[in-house]
Structure 1
């Protein structure tokens, strides 16, 4: 992908995920410090289908700059299938020198009418697109 420090600089900005998260149109600070700080809250808007925006309000619950990770919890959304959603993003060294791995783990309780497998499939395809977007951003740094 790219060097760990370059990728961490990009993904660790809690309010700038719209630059690399597929389909995200905006991500704005709702409350908390302008920089990443535990307790900060953001409102992200995504557009999966033209003219059909979704939003998610997410609270930063943990940051570990030393281990290049942070965790956040979805507190409000109009997206179906994301009940109890909590995620951790971690950037790790890869075996190949000058590269890193992005690990995105999550927990969720599928909403009525949505299987966990369908939701996981959707999120898995998002990881593929995220990787491509991050590679492009990192190469321009």
Structure 2
């Protein structure tokens, strides 16, 4: 019997925010329904269930820089906020529906102090089942 199981893709990227403290960056990260305000490659993002920032709420994201699906339609996803940690400045979310091919996608965003104490760092990590037509590097370079 052939084994079709593949390991999950896992990745982590960081970005330094030079002119923002952790306390200034956190409200923007926690603003789950307004991701499009921080990522200009995302056409829209808005809440479709629950209250913004409450675990269990769901947002719709559409028109991302990830290529359109095979039918040529605009890429979209529905993402559920799983956890918010106001002490350690962490949010966790997953994708519950979409047309890009993600299966079992989970992500964590952390706001961290930068090593040299100027500004802060955003750390985005994810785990996802491999997606046909993509390479792990495609996700890391977006």
Moved over 6 A (4+): none
Partners of 1:46 and 1:84 in 2: CA distance: 21
Choose between structure 1 and 2 for higher RCO, CA contacts under 8 A separated by at least 6 residues. 2
Give the C-alpha shift of residue 52 in structure 1: 4.6
TM-score (norm 1): 0.77
Which aligned pairs between 1:1-141 and structure 2 lie closer than 5 A?
Answer: 1=17, 2-33=20-51, 35-48=52-65, 52-80=73-101, 82-111=102-131, 113-114=132-133, 118=135, 120-126=136-142
Give the C-alpha shift of residue 22 in structure 1: 4.7
Partners of 2:84 and 2:64 in 1: CA distance: 27
Query: Which residue does 1:136 correspond to in 2?
Result: none
Q: Which runs of 5+ in 2 are unaligned?
A: 1-16
3-state SS of 1:15 partner:
helix
TM-score (norm 2): 0.76
3-state SS of 1:67 partner:
coil
**Root-mean-square deviation over aligned CA pairs:** 1.9
Aligned length: 120
Q: Which runs of 5+ in 1 are unaligned?
A: 127-141
Normalized per residue, the structure richer in helix is 1
